[in-house]
Amino acid sequence: DVIFITGGGVLGNLWRESSGMVKSILQKYKNKKVVIFPQTIFYSENSSDEVIEEDKLLFENHPNLFVTLREAISYRYFNDHIKCTGNSRIFLAPDMALYLKYDSSTNKNGVLMCMRKDKERTINDSENNKVVKALIENNYKNVKYTDTAYDGLVARKERLNLLNEKIDEIAGAELIITDRLHGMVLAAITGTKCIAITSKSHKIIGVYEWLSDIVSVYVVENNNSIP
């Protein structure tokens, strides 16, 4: 058997409840090949040395682990700090959503604000209000809020429809302002203009390297420059 772990941004210390799933699999199935689809690995400045060392040993002690990192920052970190053993290997590959294809001939109108509400958020309410004010002052009257995350579980049979609805929503906007990685990615594949705001990890600026030739996507690292 081969065990595949979904891509995303759970490796590191930001989302320990989710990285615990990876930890459990690596501990229990050392005799199986484990493939981790494109991930970001990130440790915040307040991360303890014990947590980092525990994760390091976990990766190094699995002899048949294939880890795919979705941006060069994570790839360099893994390559510099974690020594693969046995048949284990690491790879640099794009976030899997970048392989989606979309006919971007949709008429575009209005602005979507797609903002995080969790601990990765870096823009506060005051800065958010300044952005909306700047949009209105620049004649963007139709401003709506959306998100790429859903509360609660999504049934398997509903997933594709919900995904397509979200892609169509972003495709129908003239502009999206977002601190969601996949807000930026879906904007890129639908030809929607995008201002992407960096969140607490490096995943947006890292994945942006795959998109740097798309002039309609712009990454902001200083929230004061958003307007």
pLDDT digits (tens, 9 = 90+) for 77-100: 999 999 999 999 999 999 999 998
pLDDT grade, residue 101 (50/70/90)? confident
Verdict on whether the full-model pTM lies above 0.85? yes
In the 8-state DSSP scheme, what is residue 98? G
* 73-105: burial string, b at 16+ Cβ within 10 Å, e else: bbbebbeeebebeeebebeebbbebbeeebeee
What confidence tens digit (pLDDT) does each residue in 8-23 have? 888 988 777 777 889 9
Hunting for tokens 């800065």 — which residue is that?
127
Confidence of residue 221 (pLDDT cuts 50, 70, 90): confident
Q: Is residue 206 within 8 Å of residue 70, measured between CB atoms?
A: yes
CA atoms within 13 A on the CB side of 175: 16
Chain segment 35-45, per-residue pLDDT in tens: 999 999 998 87
